[in-house]
A = this chain, B = another copy of it.
Amino acid sequence: MIEFWYEFASTYSYPAAMRIERLADEAGVAIAWRPFLLGPLFHEQQGLRDSPFNVVPVKGKYMWRDLERVCEEEGLPLVHPSQFPRNALLAARVAIVGLEDGWTPAFSKKVYEANFVADQDISSPEVLAPLVEEVGAAPEAVFAAAQGADVKARLKDHVEQAKARGVFGSPSFITADGELFWGNDRLEQALDWAQRHATREHA
């Protein structure tokens, strides 16, 4: 098993979300989807109130070009969002709601496509409602749950867990034996690690 920690505003998390199911399936490794928010970590760990890709323009310029190459190689469409980063709070809460019923992976991929392909404002309930419907859930009930105290607390707990595990970026992958891998370009390595150290799970 690996935990997939992801923030919806994060650029490299888009290709990671689109690739992880196929690669994990090939590796015979289960995925625990762990939506979280990167903003509180960026602020607490690095004193940032914006994406590092905005704060350091030379890194931002490189990242967008690199992301183009990564997506091209994977055959994934990419549209530079007109707003970056977008507020992912509501989408993350909705993703928490879907965990029990199993529609979080499908919903999460749709949110990434809305942000990085359709260039839509993923903080808007009007944008998210059709995505919830498309995965077979009822937007009204889902949004009500997403704004409830329980889901808010669970998302906060995800952020705290991420921090406690040493996460500082998205996507991050954590194996059952606690190895942390950061970045879309570490996904294969994380799965390989999980495969080679799977004895605990079967013990």
A residues bordering B, Cβ < 8 Å?
45-46, 56, 58-59, 61-62, 65-66, 69, 166, 168, 179-182, 185-186, 189
Contacts and interface: CB of A to CB of B under 8 A. Distances in A.
A177 to B, nearest CB: 13
Interface of A: prevailing SS = helix
A45 B58 contact: yes
Contact of A189 (B45, B69, B182): B69
Contacts of A180: 62, 65
Contacts of A189: 69
A11 to B, nearest CB: 15
Given A59-B168, A166-B61, A185 B185 contact: yes
Contacts of A62: 166, 168, 180, 182
Given A66-B182, A69-B189, A168 B45 contact: no
22 contacts: A45-B56, A45-B58, A45-B59, A46-B56, A56-B168, A58-B166, A58-B168, A59-B168, A61-B166, A62-B166, A62-B168, A62-B180, A62-B182, A65-B179, A65-B180, A66-B181, A66-B182, A66-B186, A69-B179, A69-B189, A185-B185, A185-B186
